[in-house]
Structure 1
């Protein structure tokens, strides 16, 4: 059974992933609409790791480098305990903002 802390963590991760989604440029969202449908399906089923990986794939394939988008992914990765990925994204974010 999921604890209240775990449920809260899931909600935070979902919010961060949705924030990343809203930061995608319109043309990228249109180009990757089928992947975004899959992303939404993963979120609907609380498959947060798969949703994260899908969003990260879109970002990488599209070459998106908007700081707010990467920041949301940094926070989501950290919240999910994906430390190596969080660190890599944080380094990417630092290069964007320096």
Structure 2
């Protein structure tokens, strides 16, 4: 049985994933329809890391996305304690922006 703390963590992660999904462009929606459908299915079944995988695939496939999508993906990764993944996203944001970017998860 999941604890209240675990359920709260799942909800926080789900919120980051949904926010990132909402920031995808219309072009990404069209280009990455299969990945978006996978994302929706995984999220429906609380498969949060798989949902992140599908979202990342959509982000990579479209090549048109704002960096906000990647920031939110980094927050989702941090929420799931996927530190290698969060670090990879942070490195990419650092290179894109030209200054050290580090994801900070508040109220964790």
TM-score (norm 1): 0.92
For the pair 1:55 / 2:22, whether they are aligned, the reply is no
Give the structure, 1 or 2, with the largest relative contact order (CA under 8 Å, sep 6 or more): 1
Unaligned runs of 5+ residues in structure 1 are none
Partner of 2:97: 97
Unaligned runs of 5+ residues in structure 2 are 99-108
Partner of 2:9: 9
Partner of 2:106: none
Offset, 1:65: 4.7
Partner of 2:35: 35
Aligned pairs (5 A) from 1:73-92: 73-92=73-92
For residues 57 and 34 of structure 1, the distance between their equivalents in structure 2, rounded to whole angstroms, comes to 10
For residues 34 and 60 of structure 2, the distance between their equivalents in structure 1, rounded to whole angstroms, comes to 16
For residues 29 and 91 of structure 1, the distance between their equivalents in structure 2, rounded to whole angstroms, comes to 25
Q: Runs in 1 of length 4+ with deviation above 4 angstroms?
A: none
> How many residue pairs end up in the alignment?
98
Superposed CA RMSD in Å reads 1.2
The CA deviation string for residues 41-85 of structure 1, in whole angstroms up to 9 with x for no partner, is 110110101101111111122224522111101100011111011
For residues 94 and 5 of structure 1, the distance between their equivalents in structure 2, rounded to whole angstroms, comes to 32
